[in-house]
Structure 1
């Protein structure tokens, strides 16, 4: 039986110009809001923190010192 990656979080390694899939899945979770981000929609992440973000505003919020 083939295993489906549906409804399973992926584990990624974020790099400057993309990411590498370490464990297959169909989404990642935003580090700020906790929302699911489909891998096809993933556009924002931090290489230093190895975190994904759902939007540019959330990425900016995560990287702005408190």
Structure 2
């Protein structure tokens, strides 16, 4: 039986130049906006915080020093 990972959030380990899939799925959730990000469109994340972001603007805002 084939397992479908459609409509299931993946668990990832974010690294400096990519990420490793810890638990399969088809998307991750933006840490700030809550938007679903398909894995093939994932471009922005924080290695230190292990969080994904939906856009460069959201990532910049989230990582801006307080």
**Alignment length (residue pairs):** 66
Root mean square deviation of aligned Cα: 0.7
With normalisation by structure 2, the TM-score equals: 0.96
Structure 1: stretches of 5+ with no match in the other structure: none
Alignment of 1:14-33 (within 5 A): 14-33=14-33
Structure 2: stretches of 5+ with no match in the other structure: none
C-alpha separation in 2, matches of 1:34 and 1:63: 16
With normalisation by structure 1, the TM-score equals: 0.96
| Counterpart residue number, 2:37 | 37
